Structure 1
Amino acid sequence: MTQTPVAPTSVAPTSAVPPPAVRRSSMSSLRAYIALTKPRIIELLLVTTLPAMILAAKGLPPLSLVISTLVGGTLAAGSANALNCFVDRDIDAVMRRTGHRPLARHEVSPRAALIFGTVLGMVAVLLMGLATNWLAAGLTAAAIVFYVVVYTMLLKRRTSQNIVWGGAAGCMPVLIGWAAVTGSVAWAPVVLFAVVFFWTPPHFWALAIRYREDYARAGVPMLPVVATPIAVARQIVAYSWLTVASSLVLWPLATGWLYPIVAGVAGGALIVEAQRLLRAVSRGDAGKPMRLFHFSNSYLALLFVAVAVDVFVTR
């Protein structure tokens, strides 16, 4: 908030510009609220939304629809992430990976974070309903509730399969994007949903291997905390194969010749990375789980870019 200037008492008037300390405080507060939304996670969600819209429209949808859907998706993801930070503020404070988050550092009060996340969610659902359709809005609301209630509140602290089932919330953008364009859901977005669903465990378990001690200290039973390294690596390989297999199902349903080439090559590389981690763990080595984590990000982005490009190249 801008400070109201005090009337000058000397000949030389004071500046109406807020003092530097106040400006820094305002900017710090803004950065804290932005951090609550976890912008890096939102970027990945949007990468899956737009290609799904392009595939549904068999070309570029109206720009106004794209903007409305992406803005609504950003607000919805920001809402879910902010509410996740509110619920997890106790464990975030004891984990090295999350100790910098605004609630853990007391940069935002829990009450303010709860209000902020709730308002963002309400605005997101209303925007999606008015600017696209109410099916897309309903799916948006379901994604927020599923992530906050099912994953964060019910599964995360109770089962090692938390990210498997809770990760379904991160699959919703493909259904939302498709529904925003068509007003319905079809098999093609369901297949894309399955791709993201199977991709999530190896992606997140690779990160959880790196921060295993963090999760153990916080009492969160991520699979790498409760299972042996080789058992985790084997499941990562299994889910990587399921990811690639499900990605190829899209070819006969909705794409031309370009997509399966990219899906096959990128999928092969994903399996190689997963197998490399398994071999390292089998030798008693810690391996390089973050290499797989970062590559899995690139894999998913490349796959969905191929979905979009294929529409324009092969139509």
Structure 2
Amino acid sequence: MRKITFVTLCLLSIMATAQYTETINTNNPGLSQGAFAVGNGVAQVEGNVFYRAEQHDLQRYERDYTGLSMQLRYGAFMERLEFSYIGTFASVNQMDNRGFGNVETSFSNFSRSTLGVKYLVFDPLKFWGEKKVNIMSWKANHKLNWKDLVPAVSIYAGANINLSDPNSLTPPNDPAFSPRFELITQNNWGRWVFVTNFIVDRITTDYPSYEWIATMTHSINRKWAVFGEYQGFKSDFYSDDLGRGGLAYLVSKDWQVDASATFNFKDTPTVLQFNVGMSYRFDFHKEDERISQKKNLKGTGDDSGKKAKKDKKKKKIDF
């Protein structure tokens, strides 16, 4: 569920079990994590290549980044649990325009390398059951219920790994290991999915970072989806506000491709980035028991019990 699969949430979430979905459940594109795991027995690869241009007016440098971001996700032991590796590797060419001439340098390293685990604390679909369809009222099926405002909630804990010293893409004196924690929420509103991430990163170091990400995804049809995302972070090492947008295309139930662009709102430095990515699922999931609504909605649902009593009474009269 992404974001529940980015493309398919709105169309197939009703048919899904608590975590597992009939089509790939990917975090691509964008940087937020969805609240739901990939599903027990599912292994998934999500990656993208990117180009990023930065220009800093005060420090008078220009940087060109080319790199690869990836997520390796695996669901094991239970539907609510997911293990992951999230990494970003970049090669940077920098031109310094200070003094009487230009100085060009280049370097490359991991800006992020994190092993982590995510656990679904609360699933509204599991708690309240699947919403029944009212065949007599279109309005009843599409009206907003207060339960729809209650999100799924997950927690994430990870360990940042930095075995390079120095590393120009991480804060100064960054230790070999540092913690990362996230609180993740997700609302599924038909064709719309809203995800938030609240992040505390490197809190035991000299440069702790506090981040927040909000992502809205809209499924256009069975194949195409679009998204918009806001990301903010604050740290003594680097702070910024980023806007991000893009689209995704579902090639098959296990394969998605996507593209996105990122920009910011300041000139210290300016940021412009383009990503092209794909996600692929290796599905070894075993079918679980389907979630169902405990009580039927008024005016809908299964009247088979009443009908059986009525038929039984009719038979007695006929006899």
| Superposed pair shares fold, TM > 0.5 | no
Q: TM-score, normalised by structure 1?
A: 0.25
Q: Which of the pair has more CA radius of gyration?
A: 2
* Structure with the bigger percentage of strand: 2
* Structure with the bigger percentage of helix: 1
